[in-house]
Amino acid sequence: MMQLVIPGQVIASSSIEGGGESKDENSFLRGHGTYVERVESEERLIASVCGTVQRMNKLITVIPFCESRYAGNVGDLVVGRVTSVATSQWTISLVSQQRDARLPLSGVHLPGGAQRVRTAQDQRDMRLFLQEGDLICAEVHKVQPSDGSLSLHTRSFRYSKLENGSLVQVPPSLIPRRKNHYMSMINNTLDVLWGTNGNIWIQRKLKELGGEEANNLADLQEQLRQEHASTPVLPDERQSIARLRNAIESLRLVHSMVTPEFAEEIYNRSVTFGLSPSQILLPQNVVSLTEICRQ
């Protein structure tokens, strides 16, 4: 049975002995959304958020109900915006009104080889790589167990600065986790990054790397990124990006799960009905286009 808890509610307790270690068979491990409080000879696990209790053996976690809250997991693909540049790290905003993530200088590719030692000159040149306001795609590298703060990295050749595209923001709870969050859509003409933090990035399809070119993926991917950023987006490409962007926005408006399958279904239905991208968001069209997804 699902157990609903509110902040401050005791979820579990166990007795502790003089050494401070729990010897009770009801002992527990603290998961996200909880904190531990000791009262005399008892150790209590208390909820820090409103949500449902999830138990896995002795590990107890509270899954928050708040749709705007993002609890990162190692390996998550996220899309964020650089808010500040400090010594040896960038600060990345993933979700508004939540603690920003950290992207260390050691976690990004630099010219001259990904594995070379970072120097004082690299620290001075950090704004040449990423500066305030830039959008990036990254992966969660580490989650601090003490406070849930996130450390990111962009060491995969697919993760980098994002330009020449469109950003859509939806509640993180509407983005289901799946094996692949980077995919091609609309007859392989658009690349879409489904950030688990609720930020979705849409851009035209990047060129593929293959064969002999795969020897230095990082440098070649950076060349493709720069070429993509400097090449104007054609009108028909803008139409496709805007149509998919509004298809995703219509799912958000009806609070439906935002998945690639649903977004592409609405995209195709809008084409079949002869709607322009801007007409997708008219209230009557949102209702009719999302009917199948809502059912």
Among the listed residues 53, 41, 51, 42, the one whose alpha carbon sits nearest the alpha carbon of residue 11: 53
Structure confidence at residue 215 as a pLDDT band (50, 70, 90): very low
Q: Based on the domain organization, do 39 and 84 belong to the same domain?
A: no
Residue 30: its pLDDT value, please?
83
Contact 133, 179 (CB under 8 A): no
Contact 60, 47 (CB under 8 A): no
Mean pLDDT for the stretch of residues 112-132: 80
Residue 214: its pLDDT value, please?
43
Structure confidence at residue 256 as a pLDDT band (50, 70, 90): confident
Q: Based on the domain organization, do 37 and 104 belong to the same domain?
A: no
Q: Check which CATH number belongs to the domain holding 59 and give it.
A: 2.40.50.100
Which DSSP string do the residues of 247-267 spell out, in sequence order?
A: HHHHHHHTT----HHHHHHHH
Mean pLDDT for the stretch of residues 146-173: 86
Pick from 208, 230, 252: which residue ends a domain?
230
- Distance between CA atoms of 145 and 15, rounded to whole angstroms? 23
Q: Give residue-wise pLDDT tens across range 31-74.
A: 877 888 888 778 899 988 888 888 888 888 887 776 677 888 89
Q: Based on the domain organization, do 161 and 124 belong to the same domain?
A: yes
Structure confidence at residue 195 as a pLDDT band (50, 70, 90): very high
Residue 213: its pLDDT value, please?
47
Q: Check which CATH number belongs to the domain holding 177 and give it.
A: 2.40.50.140
Buried (b) or exposed (e) across 183-209, using 16+ Cβ within 10 A?
Answer: eebbeeebbbbbbbbbbbbbbbeeeee
Asked whether residue 70 is domain-assigned, the answer is no
Distance, first Cα to last Cα, the chain: 26
Q: Give residue-wise pLDDT tens across range 125-144.
A: 899 889 999 999 999 999 98
Q: Is 165 left (phi over 0), alpha (psi -120 to 50) or beta?
A: beta
Q: Based on the domain organization, do 119 and 174 belong to the same domain?
A: yes
Which DSSP string do the residues of 11-76 spell out, in sequence order?
A: EEEEEB-TTS-B--TT--EE-TTEEEEEETTEEEEEESSSEEEEEETTEEEEEE--TT-----TT-
Residue 216: its pLDDT value, please?
64
Query: Is residue 218 pLDDT above 80, yes or no?
Result: no
Q: Based on the domain organization, do 218 and 277 belong to the same domain?
A: no
Structure confidence at residue 238 as a pLDDT band (50, 70, 90): very high
Q: Which pTM value belongs to this model?
A: 0.76
Query: Is residue 281 pLDDT above 60, yes or no?
Result: yes
% of the chain surpassing 70 pLDDT: 88
Show the CA angle centred on residue 144, arms to residues 139 and 146, nearest 5°: 160
Q: What are phi and psi of 94, to 5 degrees?
A: -105, -40
Q: Give residue-wise pLDDT tens across range 167-176.
A: 999 999 889 8
Pick from 230, 262, 283: which residue ends a domain?
230
Query: Is residue 10 pLDDT above 80, yes or no?
Result: yes
Q: Based on the domain organization, do 226 and 248 belong to the same domain?
A: no
Structure tokens at 168: 């859509």
Asked whether residue 279 is domain-assigned, the answer is yes
Residue 11: its pLDDT value, please?
92
- Distance between CA atoms of 295 and 282, rounded to whole angstroms? 20
Residue 217: its pLDDT value, please?
63
Q: Based on the domain organization, do 186 and 96 belong to the same domain?
A: yes
Pick from 180, 197, 230: which residue ends a domain?
230
Q: Based on the domain organization, do 243 and 207 belong to the same domain?
A: no
Q: Based on the domain organization, do 178 and 214 belong to the same domain?
A: yes
Domain count, the chain: 3
Structure confidence at residue 119 as a pLDDT band (50, 70, 90): confident
Q: Based on the domain organization, do 168 and 152 belong to the same domain?
A: yes
Cα 183 to its chain centre, rounded Å, is: 14
Asked whether residue 207 is domain-assigned, the answer is yes
In single-letter form, the type of residue at position 36 comes to V
Structure confidence at residue 274 as a pLDDT band (50, 70, 90): very high
Q: Based on the domain organization, do 103 and 195 belong to the same domain?
A: yes
Q: Which domain holds residue 49?
A: 4-64
Mean pLDDT for the stretch of residues 188-193: 94
